[in-house]
Structure 1
Amino acid sequence: MKQVLNRLFNHQQLSRAESKDILTRMSMGEYNESQIAAFISVYLMRSISIDEFLGFTDALLELCADVTPLAAYNPIDIVGTGGDNKNTFNISTLSCFTVAAAGYKVAKHGNYGATSVSGASTVMEQHGVKFTNDVSKLEKSLAETNIAYLHAPLFNNALKEVAPVRKALGVRTFFNMLGPVANPIRPKRSVLGVFNLKMARMYYYMYQQTDVDYAIVHGLDGYDEISLTGDFKVINRHSESIYSPELLGFERCSELDLDGGKTPEDASAIFDNVINNTATQAQKNAVIANSAIGIQTIAPGLSIQECVAQATEAIDSGKVKATFKRFLELNT
C-alpha cells in the first residue's frame, strides 16, 4: 500500500487491474484503517479515472455474495449515489416501495448514510427491519411484497471493511459511486441518481457496455435524485432529456421542503408520513417523480404522465401502506 500511495500522491493513476487488486485486498482485511483513509482521501482531491472506477466495480461484483435466485425476478433498483450534501429524506427508498406497490419487482440495495442523517439502512433499522443475506427470506419478501432489501455490508466484505472509515470521515468518497453498481443481484433495470454531470458521464460509459435498462437522473441544481426544486436531466440507453417539474405536472419546491431533519428519527417520521399519505405535497411529489422514472424504466412504452399516475395511485389508494406493512411483517 505504501508504494501505491506514493504513486497516487504523485498524481499517477491506477490501471483497471491494479484497482481491482487493491479493493480485493482491502476486502480481505490486508490494510489498516489509516491506510484505507489515506487511500480514500486521494479521491477527495482528484477525480476517479474510468479505469479505476471500472477496476473497483470489477472487484465489488466479483466479491458479491451469490443471490442468483433473486435475479430471476428481474427486479429494478432505485438508488442515489449520496454525497450531494442536500440531506434529503429517504426519497429513493420510498420510491422503491411505491414502485413495488404499483406492481413491479424491486431489489433495493442500500447502506447507512455516510454523508446524511439517514441512509436507506438507517431508516429500515428505525422500523425494526432485521437485515439478512438469507436468500430464501429475501425471495419470500420479493415474491409476496414485490420488494427485498439488501443491506450492502452483508453482501460484500469490501463495503464492510471500509464502513468505519467512511463514517469517521463523514464526507463524500468514491464508495458513494460504487455502492449503486454493487447490488449483488446485478439487476438488469436500474435508476441511478448522481450529483453532477461528470459522474453521469462515467456511469453512462459503464452502462453502455452492459445490457442494463437504466435511467441516470441528475437534478441540475446538484441533487442526486429528482428533487423538483429545478430542472433535471434523465439519461437512458436511447435518449438524454431535460425535464422541468411543470412538464410532469408538479409545482417547484424549495430545498427546505425536502430536508430530512436533524436526526434519524426526524427522517423516519417523514418516511412514515409518505407511507401513510400524510406527507406534505412537496415530499409526496418528489417520491412520485422518482417512482415514475422507475416505472418508465421497467415499462418504456408508458408515457411519463402514465407513470406519474401509477405512482400517485399507489400512494393515494393505500397500496404503499399495505405493501410496507406486509414487508415489515416478513422482515422484522
Structure 2
Amino acid sequence: MKQLLSQLVDGQPLSAEQAIEGFELIMSGQAEPAQTGAMLALIAQRGPTVDEVVGAATVMRQKAVPVNVPEGLTIIDTCGAGGTGSTFFNISTTAALVAAGAGRPLGLGVAKHGNRSVTSRSGSSNVLENLGVNLQADPDVLTKCLDEAGMCFCFAPAHHPAMKYAGPVRAALGFRTVFNLIGPLTNPAGAKRQLIGVPSPEVADLMSQALLRLDAEHCLLVHSVLPDGHSLGELTTFGPAQAVQVHHDMTKSYPIDPAALGMPFALPDSVTIQTPADSAVIVKQVLDNEAGPARDITVLNAAAALQVGGVADSLEEGLELAAAAIADGRAKNVLDTLIQLTNA
C-alpha cells in the first residue's frame, strides 16, 4: 500500500491492476485506516480515472453477497450515483416499481440496489422501509421477490460486507470518493442493463467508459440541470436531460426532451419533499394512478428503464407500457408483494 500511496502522491494514477491491489487491501481489512483515507483522498483530489473506477468495482463485485436470478429473467437496475442533494421524492425507486410491474410479464425483473440517504432527503432504503419493506431479507427471499414480484431491493450494507472497513473512513472524510461511483457498478444480482442518474456530464463520461470495461449490455446515464442551476441525476418534466447510452460496446450522447414526448411541463416544487414519509405518500399516490407531475416523472423514468431492459423499442413505447402498469394495478402489486414476501 505504501508504494501505491507514493505513486499517488507523485501525481501518477493507478493502473487497473494496481487499483485492484489497493482496494483489495482496503476491502479485506489489511490497510490501515490512515492508508485508506490517504488513498481515497488522493484519488478524489484529482478525480478518479477509468482504471481506478474499474479496479475498485472489480474488487467490490468479487466480495459482494450475490442474489441468484430466476432462470429466464433479465435484470435491470435504476441505482444512481447520488451526490446531487436531491429534495425530490424517490424517483428512481418509484420508477423501479413501475418498471417491474410492466416488465415481469415480459421476462424483465428489477434488482434495485440502494442505500440510506447520504446527500438527498430520502434514500431508496429510507422510503421502502417507510412503506413497509423489510431491508434485511435473506438473499433467497430476494430471489423469490424477483420471481413473484418482479423486483427485489438489494440493501447495500447487507450485500457489501467488505465496506465495513472503508465505511468509517468515508464517514470521517465527509466528501465524495470513488466509492460513490462504484455503487451503481456493483449490483448484487449482476445487472448489466441499467438506468443510472449521475451528478454531472463528466461523471457520465467516466462511468460510461467504466461500464464498457465491465461488460455492460445496455445502460443509460442521465443528467439534467434545474432552472436554478442545480444538478439532478434523473429524468424529469422540468426540462430536457442529457443522456449517454452504453450499448453494443459503443457510447452515444443525446438529449431527452420530455416536451417532445408530449409530457406536460412541471415545476420542481411540485414534487419536493422534506422526509422519507413525505416521499412514501407520493409513491402511494403514483401507484394509485393519481395524475400529476410525480406520476409523469415516474412514467418517464420507468420508460427509460424498460427501454434499456429490452422490452420497449423506444421511449414512446416504454411510456405506454409504464402507464398501463400503473393504471391496471400491476405496479402497486409489486410493492404489496415485496412487503408481504420480505416480512414473511
TM-score by length of structure 1 reads 0.89
Aligned residue among 181, 184, 190 for 2:185 = 181
CA positional deviation for 1:311: 1.1
Q: Which runs of 5+ in 2 are unaligned?
A: none
What is the letter of the counterpart of residue 330 of structure 1?
A: L
Aligned residue among 253, 267, 279 for 1:240 = 253
Identify the residue that residue 84 of structure 1 maps to in structure 2: 84
Alignment map for 1:40-189 (pairs within 5 Å):
40-70=40-70, 73-104=73-104, 105-132=109-136, 134-167=138-171, 169-189=173-193
CA positional deviation for 1:230: 1.9
CA distance in 2, matches of 1:323, 1:306: 21
Q: Does 1:197 align with 2:197?
A: no
Identify the residue that residue 238 of structure 2 maps to in structure 1: 229
CA contact 1:90–1:120 (8 Å) conserved in 2: yes
Higher alpha-carbon deviation: 50-59 or 65-74 = 65-74
CA distance in 1, matches of 2:138, 2:72: 16
Identify the residue that residue 252 of structure 1 maps to in structure 2: 265
CA distance in 2, matches of 1:233, 1:184: 27
What is the letter of the counterpart of residue 81 of structure 2?
A: T
CA positional deviation for 1:201: 1.4
CA positional deviation for 1:148: 1.1
SS in 2 for 1:103: helix
Identify the residue that residue 224 of structure 2 maps to in structure 1: 219
What is the letter of the counterpart of residue 328 of structure 1?
A: I
List per-residue Cα deviations over 1:285-326 (Å, max 9, x = no partner). Answer: 111111000111123653322211221222233322222111
List per-residue Cα deviations over 1:36-68 (Å, max 9, x = no partner). Answer: 444333344221011111111111111122434
CA distance in 2, matches of 1:269, 1:32: 44
CA distance in 2, matches of 1:90, 1:170: 23
CA positional deviation for 1:249: 1.6
Higher alpha-carbon deviation: 300-309 or 195-204 = 300-309
CA distance in 2, matches of 1:154, 1:142: 17
Identity %: 29
Higher alpha-carbon deviation: 30-39 or 234-243 = 30-39
What is the letter of the counterpart of residue 208 of structure 1?
A: L
CA contact 1:15–1:52 (8 Å) conserved in 2: yes
CA contact 1:5–1:39 (8 Å) conserved in 2: yes
SS in 1 for 2:79: strand
Distance 1:170 1:315, change over 3 A: farther
CA distance in 2, matches of 1:169, 1:199: 21
CA positional deviation for 1:231: 1.1
SS in 1 for 2:74: coil
SS in 1 for 2:196: strand
CA contact 2:85–2:121 (8 Å) conserved in 1: no
CA distance in 2, matches of 1:71, 1:48: 36
CA contact 1:115–1:172 (8 Å) conserved in 2: no
Q: Which runs of 5+ in 1 are unaligned?
A: none
CA contact 1:191–1:297 (8 Å) conserved in 2: yes
CA distance in 1, matches of 2:57, 2:20: 8
CA distance in 1, matches of 2:70, 2:256: 33
Identify the residue that residue 269 of structure 1 maps to in structure 2: 281
Distance 1:72 1:9, change over 3 A: farther
CA contact 1:16–1:55 (8 Å) conserved in 2: yes
What is the letter of the counterpart of residue 302 of structure 2?
A: S
SS in 2 for 1:157: coil
Higher alpha-carbon deviation: 2-11 or 293-302 = 2-11
CA distance in 1, matches of 2:134, 2:114: 13
CA contact 1:291–1:311 (8 Å) conserved in 2: yes
List per-residue Cα deviations over 1:135-159 (Å, max 9, x = no partner). Answer: 3211111111101111112222233
Higher alpha-carbon deviation: 83-92 or 249-258 = 249-258
Runs of 4+ with deviation above 6 angstroms: none
Distance 1:70 1:194, change over 3 A: farther
Higher alpha-carbon deviation: 183-192 or 218-227 = 218-227
CA distance in 2, matches of 1:169, 1:260: 28
CA contact 2:67–2:142 (8 Å) conserved in 1: no
CA distance in 1, matches of 2:35, 2:276: 30
